[in-house]
Each structure stands twice: as C-alpha cells, then as structure tokens.
Amino acid sequence: MTYHTTLDQAAGAAAAAAGVYGSWNAERRRDLLHACADAVDAARAELVELAGTETALTSARLDGEVTRTTGQLRLYGDHVAAGRHLSRRSSPGAGLGGADVYTVDVPLGPVAVFAASNFPFAFGVPGGDTASALAAGCPVVVKGHPAQPRLSRRIAEILSAAVAGAGAPEGTFGFLDAESTDGDPNKLSIELVQHPAIKAVGFTGSFGGGRALMDAAAARPEPIPVYAEMGSVNPVFVLPGAIADEAGRQKWAQTLAGAVTGSGGQLCTKPGVVFVPEGDDGAALGALTGGLIADNAAIPMLTEGMAAAHRRWSEQTAESGADARFAAGEGQEADSRSGLPFAVEITAKDFTGGYREEHFGPAAVIVRADPADYPALADSLEGQLTATIIADDASDADREAARALLPSLVAKAGRVVWNGVPTGVAVVEAMQHGGPWPATSASWSTSVGTEAIRRFIRPVALQGVPADLVG
C-alpha cells in the first residue's frame, strides 16, 4: 500500500475503503493497531533522531513520547476488541407492538486528522486522533505538519506498510504532505475539511486554526463534526497552607517552574497562570517561582514563528507595567528559533487582556490574590483544558477553601488536578482531555483516553430487527 499525495486521491480512496474497513470485526482492527505500534517501535531510533532535528526536543522526551504513542495504539486496539467502546443499550419489548429496541454503533466514515507540532508522535501522524479513528473503524486522511515534513513523511511510510500488511483495503490510511501545497498549507486544510468524502475532523492546534476548520465544516452542504483541541492557560490556584513553610514554597516553586519551562513551555497543558495568596508567603512563592523560571538559558522552540511570538509576548509584558518581572540576566540572548524564559507578577485587578490568553513558550503569569476571591476569578475565566489546586491536605482551612473553589473549576475545566501539575496527560480510560469552549470545540469529548474512540462512531437504534441479521 502506498499513501496518496493528492487530496482527491486520498479522500476518494478513503471513501472506497470505508465500507470494507468499517465492516471489519474489532479483533481485526486490534491486530491492525498493534501492527502499527510494532512498526513504529521497530523504527524508534530512526524516528527519534529525525524528530530531534526538526523539533529541537530532547531525545529522552521524544523516546518517551514514542512509548506513549505505541502504548496508545495498543490500548485502543485492546479496548475495541473487548467491546468496551460500544454503548450496548437495549430495551426489550419497548417498541411498537412489543418489538425489541437495541442500539448498534457504526463508524462515521473517513476522518481528516491534522498532525500537531508540539507532540510529533502522540498528536502527530500516528497519534491519538489517527489511533481512535482507526479503532472506531474509520479510514483516516492525515495532513502532516509543515514544521516536521520529513518526520511526517517517514511515519506515513511506516504506517502505510503496517496497514497494508494487516490486510486493510487501499485508502484505510491516507497521507497529505503539507509541503506539497504550493506554499499554502492552509488552503489544503480547508479543502480537506470540505471534501465530501470526509465525515469528521480531529485537530490539535491554535484557536484560530481550529475555528477556521469549524467554520469550513459548518459551511459544507453536509456539515460535519470538528473535534478541535485549542489550548488554554491552565490556571493553578495555590492555597495558603501549602506554602506556609519554606519547604513547601521551595517544593512548589521548583515543581511549577519545571512545568512552565519543560518542553520549552510548548504544551497545551502548561500552567500559564498561577494564582498565589496575598501576603508574605505568596510573595515569596512568586519570587521563587519567577526566579527559577528566569534562571534558564534560552530554550529551542519548535519553529521560528513560535519563537517570534514568544519574543513579542515578552516585549509586551516588559512594557505593560507589571509589578515584577523575572527574566534572564545580561548576556543572555536567544537565536531566531529560541526563547528566553520569563515570568511576570501582577495583582488580581490587573489580570486582564493578554494576561488571560494562552501564550506558547517558557513563560508564566503570577497573580497575587485573596484566596477568598479565587472562585470569582475562576468564574471569570474562559473554558480550560485543566485547572489545578495546590493545598495542604492536613489543613482544614485549605480543604474548605478547595471545597468552595471546586464547583467553579469543574464548570470551567475538563480536568481538575489536586497537588500536582497538569502537564503529562495519562493515556487511560478515565482521562478527559477536553474542556468548555474555547479550550475545545466539543466539551463532551476527549482527545486522550479510550473515550476518544466514541467521537468517530454513531449509534443506530434497531427496532424489531432480528439480531442474527446484524453482522
């Protein structure tokens, strides 16, 4: 099997494959997903090296991401083989004339997948959207990311061979090269979403990109769902008990600074805003955290464009009149693809405008506030992927404050973290990687975890239909 390099070829082949592949039993789909995982694992060293040259991420980070990606492929395959993705609803004798009513789940059809840049494996060509669509019985047409053209092509070659080796029909896996678009990959993206063969979309990226795809999908004669994960500031709320002593302040300052600067701050779950209590302890935590963030050399970023955006945000905060700013000292310079880590500290009344927006890169906003105002501050936020509470488990006051805060966080976020950081999303059945608008386009869905498979199937109620007629 060879992957197709034009839109009409890839989408047409996917449409032709949909009926056959969609009729495969779950065990055959499991075997295909396992074959894909085995093929990626076999090429691990080559792929990690190639990804490193295009992303500037460390080998250790990339190797761990390959493990997560192949584990995800196998998990989804095992999940569908066990039938755990099915709704299995039935109402015996409840239909007209006493007919039995039961549901079956059917694949939606070809799915357009957009590879993300910040997770070249886990959210790239072989990532969660590809894995969940194939698990659901849907062919995929994957658009490679323009920041990683060679890696995208190589993984596509590997997956194409694995899918063919599993006996899948031509078109089950299709790939579109972002570099073969006459310099306009955005045009190809819109055309892919609007192609009549495509029945759903999986996307991880910016708000602007996700909204453009949603608008394109809605403008079709047959609108289709777009499952877009578009990011957030992932607020962290620090309660007084957690930082009442020096050990607590040191611990959480190091933990937060590491989460802000890890992977160059280019994670959709990076804690971009940290609320600290007013008073001496909060001020000390803010200074420690900001200092640790700034005490880093320039960090290579995924693209020159991301580095430029990070520099613009740094310049804006330097001119904004923030109460405090923590930045690298003299002699620290960044090249065109690197970013200098920094943090700013403001009061709650100044928490407006750009301070409330997601900014990719190694930077954070520290906000001093009265913990009694935390629920109102949470209520004022837009939808988030995550929200975090840092508290002293043994403190009754912290627990009561958390009890008051939790309803606001549950209303605003897809995942609430207790005494941790939101980076590092576990690929498990209970995971919810989504959130209210504008974090995602569909707050009820997830792009990580086995529930992601259900994005690409739909239920059909069968009333009185003999069960032996259904394959």
Distances (CA, A) of 79 to 56, 192, 323, 459: 34, 29, 51, 18
What are the start-end ranges of the H helices in 275-372?
280-294, 304-318
Regarding the domain delimited by 236-418, which CATH topology (the fold level of the hierarchy) does it fall under? Answer: Aldehyde Dehydrogenase; Chain A, domain 2 (3.40.309)
CB 168 within 8 A of CB 138: no
CB 32 within 8 A of CB 77: yes
Structure tokens at 57: 């991420």
Closest CA to 449 of 209, 135, 156: 135
Distances (CA, A) of 122 to 5, 37, 63, 297, 419: 22, 12, 11, 27, 25
Closest CA to 229 of 6, 55, 449: 449
pLDDT at 1: 45
Structure tokens at 405: 């805060």
Which of 36, 54, 65, 229 is catalytic? The answer is 229
Closest CA to 58 of 256, 227, 299, 259: 299
Which of 36, 268, 345, 358 is catalytic? The answer is 268
pLDDT at 322: 87
The question of whether 229 is a catalytic residue gets the answer: yes
The maximal CA–CA distance of the chain, rounded, in angstroms, is 83
The question of whether 400 is a catalytic residue gets the answer: no
Q: In 86-214, where do the E strands start and end?
A: 90-91, 101-107, 111-114, 140-143, 173-176, 200-204
Secondary structure class of 177 (helix, strand, coil) = coil
Q: How far, in Å, CA of 226 to CA of 459, rounded?
A: 18
pLDDT at 4: 56
Secondary structure class of 277 (helix, strand, coil) = strand
pLDDT at 424: 87
Sheet holding 140-143, edge to edge: 173-176, 140-143, 111-114, 200-204, 226-229
CB 289 within 8 A of CB 274: yes
For the chain, the domains span 7-230+440-469, 236-418
Closest CA to 374 of 237, 223, 205: 237
Q: Residue 211: what residue type? A: R
Q: How far, in Å, CA of 435 to CA of 441, rounded?
A: 8
Structure tokens at 24: 């495969």
Domain at 7-230+440-469, CATH homologous superfamily = Aldehyde Dehydrogenase; Chain A, domain 1 (3.40.605.10)
Q: Residue 454: what residue type? A: R
Taking only the tens of pLDDT, the chain with its 471 residues reads 455 569 999 999 999 999 999 999 999 999 999 999 999 999 999 999 999 999 999 999 999 999 999 999 999 999 999 999 998 899 999 999 999 999 999 999 999 999 999 999 999 999 999 999 999 999 999 999 999 999 999 999 999 999 999 999 999 999 999 875 566 778 999 999 999 999 999 999 999 999 999 999 999 999 999 999 998 999 999 999 999 999 999 999 999 999 999 999 999 999 999 999 999 999 999 999 999 999 999 999 999 999 999 999 999 999 988 898 999 876 677 789 999 999 999 999 999 999 999 999 999 999 999 999 999 999 999 999 999 999 999 999 999 999 999 999 999 999 999 999 999 899 999 999 999 999 999 999 999 999 999 999 999 999 999 988 986
Residue 317, Cβ density class (10 Å: 0-12 exposed, 13-18 middle, ≥19 buried): buried
Its sign, for the CA torsion 257, 261, 267, 273, is: positive
Q: How far, in Å, CA of 15 to CA of 7, rounded?
A: 12
Structure tokens at 257: 């600074």
pLDDT at 316: 94
